Structure 1
């Protein structure tokens, strides 16, 4: 059951006018709890703390909570975040704990941004359920719960609201509930949250939407779009990812036909995109990260309607690491070499340049496939801290020139790869999955994904 604060500080259903509520929020009179201090959650907590001066971050990892509470930043690769956490913890605007129920008991605004993983092609909402039920235990009338975790459509309606009601003993309408999707990218989270992208809010009722608009109007400089309900807002987030997955699949499928076309497919795509209605993405060795590869399953596995387009797009994109290795095998065979007898290097384990994230990364998949088929496989990545797959030896960019390579596969366009010492290798075949290089720069046989023009 919910605890009772001595003085109500909630914004939902309050009699105070909006200017007074905005001042209360900005002045620290409306305590906020942010549940989940990961790569997206900690930047969000920091921005909330900058705007309100009264934020408690919650994380199940005691090392993370202790670090943030001490002003240390456990999240790497986010410009400005370490300085922000240090400053905000020092002035008392941001603290952290592992006690979600206690934090919920003190807060009036609850922001949940825990991960939604995918297991066996189905979304796993266990982390969300645990966080929401903890919020429910400390929920008071007048509080507002905001979900930022990416979830299947109808999650707020069918799951979150019942969980909150069951734990709090309150009914929806005594507290507010809204979905406000996270719209940030790794490596630029603070910039994105503060105003690089419009914010979307969808409340379970008009009052929930009003409060969510008021709150996000206070933490971002971007426009805030209010939609009809939480399900619509959930769809906005999922649809964004589905669009990109399908679009990339189109580009990737066209790239696999490059040899039959006899053209450089990305060149044709670039010029096709000069039409205002055309916006085809770039092909590559696959789709990685914690978003796009997973969102299709939020629809495919959760709803009964047929989804052939989404399923086909996923199949195409999941096939691209295999296609990349097949192209490398063909390029070696054209020069009288057998993949089983070569030493290969994969340049890039991160799913995106400059980001320490390997989840669902095509580079990892390519490395795993090569480990099963080539004699020796190295992995080079100056950004990621994760270990390479089994059977793959990690080598630094400085040390790779001392290795004798037969095959180099570029899977991530890290800026540091501009200094790959191509001249140090005697006879290497290069497959550039990201079109980072041209033949003059490499000085070796070069195959670029999507180029069927014969000018490799």
Structure 2
């Protein structure tokens, strides 16, 4: 059933009655939860992915995103009910669907230059099945203006924009909380090519999101919302890191100062740390920087420089800690706890551990690593030896806030380590307890 021309309440009713089909392109960490949520609210859903193994698993009711709470049940339930199925044939899915959602990965280099071939490939497939009255929605985060750049591809179908609708509704989710985020943690942002498409898309997302929808004046404005969210966080983390390093110089505890300052409602100092990782926060600022023509986004650039500097600062803190026990960095045994960029997620994009390991080795240290989500092969790939105990270690560096690292047995560490230095890059160690066992504990903002 085509949705353009229906008001949002009519769309909600047809949604719940299962009267239209949504194709979700990209069955990854964001796409599969979205497809399962759509199906759970009544829509007929086709999940599309180029990975035949992923498609086979979904078709059998199996969830391949194991770190997503609740997704196992949601996939199994809706496949069994016949509301969710999967295919590798994107053109076929487009012919069956009334709404197509693009949520494939947007790959970038270190400076945020996009490799949009996955998005273009999906757009080509959709153009082969696009019909009058269909709606295409991009959810993948892209530089403002990208969604509308796809219009010539969609028009290969023989239709002109207006005969089909186009919208952007940026995903606002995190791995590990995707279902919660999709269904009501934040309102959905939506921008569309015309009022009729906007009305229909509002109806779609109001059906699945308890917090509702914020309509934007344009597709480009909707794209900017998600990008600006990431830039805000990057700039504010950089400010926190800069103030924390100032606190080190002036013998202050940055977290003590920050927590007191944040009791004032207009102050929102973020948490300093070992660095900013992932596919989002360190990447989105480059969208703004790279698209700037007349403006010069100096603050955004400086924030990137500060946050990229933090892994080096962790090495500086390690040297300070070793100096306190009379040990040079060269030939020291250093154990890096955490290879992923954040706790609970097996992702390595711009992980602080990677440059830290590299620099420690350049200075002649023997570097070991452990991460409860990783393998010996992961450690070897990043240049470290795998180690699951603390025997003979001179200094421990914590670079990911995994639950296991928040519960470290400091008494056991004290009995096994050769030196007693902890560099806490994620503010997870209880300082008073560490002091009780004789540790020199350094963190960003307190030395």
| Normalised-by-shorter TM-score class | over 0.9
Indicate the residue corresponding to 1:393 in structure 2.
385
CA distance in 1, matches of 2:150, 2:184: 27
- Aligned 1:258-297 pairs, distance under 5 A: 258-297=247-286
What RMSD in Å do the two structures reach over aligned CA positions? 1.6
CA distance in 1, matches of 2:446, 2:98: 56
Contact 2:14–2:20, Cα closer than 8 Å, also in 1: yes
Deviates more, 1:232-241 or 1:384-393: 384-393
**Equivalent of residue 370 in structure 1, options 335, 360, 371:** 360
Q: 1:440 to 1:280 in 2, by over 3 A?
A: closer
Indicate the residue corresponding to 2:19 in structure 1.
29
TM-score for both structures, normalised by structure 2: 0.94
1:321 is displaced (CA, Å) by 0.4
CA distance in 2, matches of 1:391, 1:17: 57
Indicate the residue corresponding to 1:321 in structure 2.
311
Contact 1:357–1:384, Cα closer than 8 Å, also in 2: no
C-alpha distance after superposition, 1:47-105 (max 9, x if no partner): 11111341000111111111111111111211011121111112211111111111011
Is 1:164 equivalent to 2:158 in the alignment? no
Is 1:427 equivalent to 2:419 in the alignment? yes
- Aligned 1:230-269 pairs, distance under 5 A: 230-269=219-258
Indicate the residue corresponding to 2:445 in structure 1.
450
CA distance in 1, matches of 2:222, 2:251: 43
TM-score for both structures, normalised by structure 1: 0.92
**Equivalent of residue 438 in structure 1, options 382, 405, 430:** 430
Deviates more, 1:228-237 or 1:415-424: 415-424
1:363 is displaced (CA, Å) by 2.4
Contact 1:347–1:412, Cα closer than 8 Å, also in 2: yes
3-state secondary structure, aligned to 2:373: coil
CA distance in 2, matches of 1:234, 1:327: 39
Equivalences, count = 436
Structure 1 stretches lacking a partner, 5+ long: 1-8
**Equivalent of residue 371 in structure 2, options 350, 373, 381:** 381
Indicate the residue corresponding to 1:412 in structure 2.
400
Contact 2:337–2:400, Cα closer than 8 Å, also in 1: yes
CA distance in 1, matches of 2:235, 2:328: 34
Indicate the residue corresponding to 1:361 in structure 2.
351
CA distance in 2, matches of 1:260, 1:375: 26
Indicate the residue corresponding to 1:208 in structure 2.
197
CA distance in 2, matches of 1:18, 1:249: 42
Contact 1:344–1:374, Cα closer than 8 Å, also in 2: no
Indicate the residue corresponding to 1:115 in structure 2.
105
3-state secondary structure, aligned to 2:378: coil
3-state secondary structure, aligned to 1:170: coil
Q: 1:440 to 1:264 in 2, by over 3 A?
A: closer
3-state secondary structure, aligned to 2:82: coil
C-alpha distance after superposition, 1:18-37 (max 9, x if no partner): 54432222222101100001
Contact 1:33–1:58, Cα closer than 8 Å, also in 2: yes
Indicate the residue corresponding to 2:125 in structure 1.
134
Contact 2:22–2:98, Cα closer than 8 Å, also in 1: yes
Indicate the residue corresponding to 2:30 in structure 1.
40
3-state secondary structure, aligned to 2:442: strand
Contact 1:343–1:374, Cα closer than 8 Å, also in 2: no
**Equivalent of residue 105 in structure 1, options 90, 95, 106:** 95
3-state secondary structure, aligned to 1:183: coil
1:221 is displaced (CA, Å) by 1.2
Is 1:70 equivalent to 2:60 in the alignment? yes
CA distance in 2, matches of 1:293, 1:276: 27
3-state secondary structure, aligned to 2:100: strand
